[in-house]
C-alpha cells in the first residue's frame, strides 16, 4: 500500500504571497515564516521612514529593528482598523522621533502630533530598478543619487518627512498627511515648498558645472588643430 503523503500547510507553500490580514494571525502565534514575510515586505518603507528622521543609515536600521520588536511583541493590540503598513510606520516614526528627542534635537518637531509628536527628517537611499552591470553607469547613478540625497538632507526638518513619504515612497498627499498627523492642506503646502527648496539646492550644487559640459580640450583640441592645419595646407 502506497504511503499517503503528509499535506503541507497551505500557508507554508506561499507564505510570501499572503496578504497582511492573513499573516497577522499567524505572526500572533509566533509563526516565524509569517513574521519573516511581514518584515521583508515592509523593510524598505520602514527604513526609508526611519532614515527620513535619523541622519544615519546604521541608526535607521537600529530604529527599524526596534520598531519591529515593539510591533511583534504588541501585535495583540493591532485591531486592523488601519493597514498594517500604517501601524508599522507609525511605530517606526515614534521610535525614530523618540531618539531625536533624546538627543535634544527637537527644533520644529513640536508642530506635528501623531499620538506622540511626529516629524520628518532626512533622506535615505534612492534605489534603482535598473541593472548595474556597467561600472560607468553605476558610478553615474551613484553620483546622481548622492546629489539627490544631499538635497533632501538640506531640507528643513518640517519638510523632509512629507517629501520622503510623498516623492520617495510614492504615497498620495492625503496618505502621507495621515501618517504625519497633519492636514492635507498643510502637507500640500510643505510639499510645494520642499520641491522648490530641492530645485534651489540642486541648482546651487550644479553651479559652475555647466561650464564643464562637452569638454573639447587636451588631445582632442590638439587633434582638431592638426586637422585644420592639414586641410589648409591642402587648399593652398
What confidence score (pLDDT) does residue 48 get?
Answer: 87
Q: Would residue 230 count as lying in a domain?
A: no
Q: Inform me whether the pLDDT recorded for 1 exceeds 50.
A: no
Domain count, the chain: 1
Task: Find the angle CA(34)-CA(38)-CA(39) to the nearest 5 degrees.
Answer: 115
Q: Which residue has the higher pLDDT, 153 or 63?
A: 63
- pTM of the model as a whole: 0.60
- When computed from its CA atoms, the radius of gyration of the chain, rounded to whole angstroms, is 25
Q: Would residue 72 count as lying in a domain?
A: yes
The residue among 6, 57, 50 whose CA lies nearest residue 165 is 50
Q: How far apart are CA 15 and CA 13, in angstroms?
A: 6
Residue 68's pLDDT band, with cuts at 50, 70 and 90, is: very high
Q: Would residue 112 count as lying in a domain?
A: yes
CB burial string 154-175: b at 16+ within 10 A, e below: bbebbbbbbbbbbbbbebebeb
Residue 13's pLDDT band, with cuts at 50, 70 and 90, is: low
Q: Would residue 64 count as lying in a domain?
A: yes
Q: Would residue 214 count as lying in a domain?
A: no
What confidence score (pLDDT) does residue 117 get?
Answer: 32
Count CB atoms within 10 A of the CB of residue 115: 10
Q: What is the pLDDT averaged over residues 170-189?
A: 88
Q: What CATH number does residue 178 fall under?
A: 1.10.1740.10
pLDDT digits (tens, 9 = 90+) for 73-86: 999 999 888 889 98
Q: Would residue 171 count as lying in a domain?
A: yes
Mean pLDDT over all residues of the chain?
76
Identify the domain containing residue 176 by its residue range: 14-208
pLDDT digits (tens, 9 = 90+) for 98-154: 887 787 544 443 333 333 333 333 333 434 344 445 666 666 677 777 788 888 888
Q: Which residue has the higher pLDDT, 141 or 169?
A: 169
Q: Would residue 139 count as lying in a domain?
A: yes
What confidence score (pLDDT) does residue 64 get?
Answer: 92
Q: What is the pLDDT averaged over residues 175-201?
A: 89
Q: What is the pLDDT averaged over residues 64-74?
A: 92
Q: Would residue 5 count as lying in a domain?
A: no
Amino acid at each position: 500500500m502506497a504511503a499517503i503523503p503528509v499535506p503541507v500547510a497551505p500557508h507554508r507553500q506561499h507564505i510570501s504571497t499572503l496578504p497582511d490580514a492573513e499573516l497577522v494571525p499567524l505572526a500572533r502565534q509566533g509563526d516565524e515564516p509569517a513574521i519573516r514575510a511581514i518584515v521583508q515586505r515592509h523593510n524598505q518603507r520602514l527604513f526609508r521612514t526611519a532614515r527620513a528622521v535619523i541622519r544615519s543609515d546604521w541608526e535607521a536600521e537600529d530604529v527599524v529593528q526596534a520598531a519591529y520588536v515593539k510591533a511583534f511583541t504588541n501585535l495583540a493590540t493591532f485591531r486592523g482598523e488601519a493597514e498594517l503598513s500604517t501601524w508599522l510606520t507609525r511605530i517606526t516614526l515614534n521610535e525614530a522621533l523618540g531618539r531625536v528627542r533624546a538627543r535634544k534635537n527637537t527644533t520644529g518637531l513640536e508642530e506635528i502630533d501623531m499620538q506622540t509628536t511626529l516629524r520628518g527628517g532626512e533622506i535615505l537611499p534612492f534605489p534603482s530598478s535598473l541593472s548595474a552591470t556597467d561600472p560607468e553607469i553605476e558610478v553615474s547613478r551613484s553620483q546622481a543619487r548622492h546629489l539627490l540625497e544631499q538635497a533632501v538632507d538640506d531640507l528643513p526638518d518640517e519638510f523632509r518627512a512629507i517629501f520622503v513619504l510623498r516623492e520617495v515612497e510614492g504615497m498620495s498627499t492625503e496618505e502621507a498627511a495621515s501618517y504625519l498627523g497633519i492636514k492635507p492642506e498643510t502637507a500640500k503646502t510643505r510639499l510645494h515648498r520642499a520641491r522648490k527648496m530641492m530645485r534651489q539646492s540642486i541648482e546651487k550644487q550644479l553651479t559652475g558645472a555647466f561650464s564643464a559640459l562637452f569638454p573639447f580640450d587636451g588631445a582632442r583640441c590638439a587633434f582638431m588643430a592638426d586637422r585644420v592645419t592639414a586641410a589648409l595646407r591642402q587648399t593652398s
